[in-house]
Amino acid sequence: MTVLLIGNGTHGDIAPLIGLSTRLQAAGHSVAIATYKAFEQQVRDSDTEFRILPGDPSLLGVNEQGRLKKKSLGESLRAGRWLRRILRHSEELADGLIAAAEKDTDVLVCSGLTMFHGYHLAKALNLPSMGLGLQPLHPTGDFPPPVGVSSLGRWANRGLGELMFTTGLTPWSSSPEFCARIGVPRLNTAQTLRRTAEERWPVHYGFSPSVVPRPADWRPGVDVVGYWWPHERPGWQPPRELVDFLDAGPAPVRVGLGSAGDPRDAERLGELLHAALRKAKVRAVVQSGTAGIDLAGDDVLTIGNAPHSWLFPRTAAVVHHMGAGTTGAGLRAGVPTVGVPTFGDAPFWSRRLVSLGASPGYVPIGELTPDRLAALIRAAVHERRHTDRSRALAAALAAEDGGARTVAAVERLLDRGTA
């Protein structure tokens, strides 16, 4: 009995799936993950079967949306082109989705761009299935779509969310052409949303209800279950240089933009960050990320990859691009966050953490200045209320187990498939 997890996106989108895979395996299930070649080794390192999907996450233009330039009409047009690129890519995934699911699969679990494609494919193959999400994309009056604007009020929030599905401008866009290809009724995104509601098709959101409570106007079957924490690499040891730096003084601030930074901005971004750190008068561990940031100095150490679960609790605060996974890691560590949001759902998580008291504020990357960033870093490190609130949220997260709830849901699907 094989559970197939299908996922696409950047490392932050795939890491939770790998973590969920290890939980399913610990419960005695055979698991495969279908994703890009770029993540094959990470999947295999977790003793999970790898099935390939076409595409390269580095070509999806994520870092192009994380430029230092201020937002302008040209930037807005580029963002629109990026969204169209993402939607086209969802169609390009079709062959890989079909091939992955046709191979020894008993339950299909779909996330990201593949959610509604996976729903239709499961119908075609007569497989039980469910959806996973890292951002709350179902329409609600509580907040606007997380890839959209600030709150406009309950009526407008829900209307905008429904409009995104009606027009297909959502990461889940459903293709009537794909439906026809696999022999199921031709449904567009809005029709698919209604059909899944009628069937109470299960969808689990992998973030904490302490961070985003489940909206009361969501339909039955859509649940907020808690985070799926990434797989911990057995035997990982921190570099001696990093340990020595941490031991040499007060807890540093961790700075990094993950996969959101653009290499074309590396030099200018490095200068800006270094100036902000000097103004804030803090020590810092900088993770170079996709942008290739490289800072040096007595109070700054630049490193490559290090597990967030190991590094973040050893810091005084974290500065990052506000991706869903990194946001959760900062909350889990119980340290304040300073957001440098780029695009997509990053502004949503930035606003959410400020409203929770776990962040003193954020500055969009296009508006970044040393003075603004330094002021936020100082507030995160020195204003006790942000640390206290972050620790309280960390305690709440420690009492949750999103992985266990999703494993239980998958097991119910397995039981249904063998009934």
Using the structure block, give the residue that is written with the tokens 């810091």. Answer: 315
- The answer on pLDDT for 76 being more than 50 is no
In angstroms, rounded to a whole number, what is the distance separating the alpha carbons of residues 348 and 354?
10
Mean pLDDT for the stretch of residues 13-27: 96
Mean pLDDT for the stretch of residues 20-44: 96
The string of pLDDT tens digits covering residues 287-306 is 988 778 888 888 999 999 89
- The least confident of 168-182, 369-383, 394-408 is 168-182
Mean pLDDT for the stretch of residues 78-88: 61
Higher pLDDT, 305 or 171: 305
In angstroms, rounded to a whole number, what is the distance separating the alpha carbons of residues 41 and 31?
15
- The answer on pLDDT for 32 being more than 50 is yes
Of 143, 114, 136, 119, nearest to 194 by C-alpha is 119
φ, ψ of residue 272 to 5 degrees: the values are -65, -45
Residue 153: CB partners within 8 Å, gap ≥ 6? none
How much is the pLDDT for 164? 81
Of 52, 49, 54, 53, nearest to 2 by C-alpha is 49
- The answer on pLDDT for 7 being more than 60 is yes
Q: Name the helix (H) or strand (E) containing 319.
A: strand 317-320
Higher pLDDT, 261 or 289: 289
Mean pLDDT for the stretch of residues 310-320: 97
Mean pLDDT for the stretch of residues 58-71: 54
- Helix, strand or coil for residue 364? coil
Tell me the sheet residues that pair with 417: none
Mean pLDDT of the chain: 89
The string of pLDDT tens digits covering residues 388-415 is 999 999 999 999 999 999 999 999 999 8
- The least confident of 91-95, 273-277, 322-326 is 91-95
Radius of gyration from C-alpha coordinates of the chain: 21
- The answer on pLDDT for 66 being more than 60 is no
Residues in the chain: 419
The string of pLDDT tens digits covering residues 221-256 is 999 999 999 998 878 899 999 999 999 999 999 999
In angstroms, rounded to a whole number, what is the distance separating the alpha carbons of residues 159 and 155?
6
Of 369, 312, 359, 367, nearest to 338 by C-alpha is 359
The shares of helix, strand and coil residues in the chain, as percent rounded to the nearest 5, are 50, 15, 35
Residue 24: CB partners within 8 Å, gap ≥ 6? 3, 31, 407, 410
Cα dihedral 140, 142, 144, 149 in deg (nearest 10): 180
Confidence of residue 77 (pLDDT cuts 50, 70, 90): very low
The string of pLDDT tens digits covering residues 114-168 is 889 999 999 999 999 999 999 999 999 999 988 877 888 999 999 998 888 777 6
pTM value is 0.92
Confidence of residue 75 (pLDDT cuts 50, 70, 90): very low
In angstroms, rounded to a whole number, what is the distance separating the alpha carbons of residues 269 and 273?
6
- The answer on pLDDT for 68 being more than 90 is no
Domains in the chain, please, with CATH?
Answer: 2-55+93-227+400-418 (3.40.50.2000), 240-398 (3.40.50.2000)
Residue 317: CB partners within 8 Å, gap ≥ 6? 253, 254, 335, 336, 337, 338, 377, 380, 381, 386
In angstroms, rounded to a whole number, what is the distance separating the alpha carbons of residues 62 and 262?
9
How much is the pLDDT for 73? 39
Task: Extract the tokens encoding 51.
Answer: 């099935």
Do residues 406 and 204 make contact, with C-beta atoms less than 8 angstroms apart? yes
How much is the pLDDT for 86? 66
Q: DSSP labels for 321-338?
A: ---HHHHHHHHHHT--EE
State the pairing for strand pair 317-320/337-339: parallel
Tell me the sheet residues that pair with 53: 36
Residue 68: CB partners within 8 Å, gap ≥ 6? 262, 265, 268, 269, 272, 365, 366, 368
